[in-house]
Amino acid sequence: MSRLFISKSENITHFIFLLVLIFAGLSLSCSSKQESQLLVGRWKYSGTTETVLVQFNENNTFSGLVFNLQEDWKFSGKWQLRKNVIKYFYHESDYTAAIGRSVDEDIIIEITPNSLLLKNISSGKLYSCIRY
């Protein structure tokens, strides 16, 4: 037989559970928004064989240059941040021919106002960047 009424303790439990879900959602949303705001700007990665300069814009576009020992590449497109993953959609790029695809993803390991540590999902390579 189904119950028509919920006890007060069950009501309170459901209410608390709902509040926890709402605050967890707001916390994730704020965190992602803060990371997004921190990401906007110019970043530089200097490795042993390559240097990467990238500009993330507030309108979710990006552009940049890769300088390495063999050749240089220009790239641009749109970026999207979901939780701690940056997804790049390359629109105009010499770089897509080099990497063989038009979409790439990095995990944000750590971000501060002046430093950014990324891990490329497909290669596993770490990129320690500084704001410039």
Task: Assign residue 60 a region (left: φ > 0; alpha: ψ between -120 and 50; beta: otherwise).
Answer: left
pTM above 0.85, yes or no: no
Better-scored residue on pLDDT, 13 or 61: 61
Domain residue spans of the chain: 35-131
In tens, the pLDDT along 47-99 reads 999 999 999 999 999 999 999 888 888 999 999 999 999 999 998 887 656 56
Q: Does pLDDT of 1 surpass 80?
A: no
Quick one: which H or E segment has residue 30? Answer: helix 8-39
In tens, the pLDDT along 95-128 reads 656 566 789 999 999 999 999 999 999 999 999 9
**Domain topology for 35-131:** Lipocalin (2.40.128)
Residues with Cβ within 8 Å of residue 127, at least 6 apart in sequence: 45, 47, 52, 106, 116, 117, 118, 119, 120
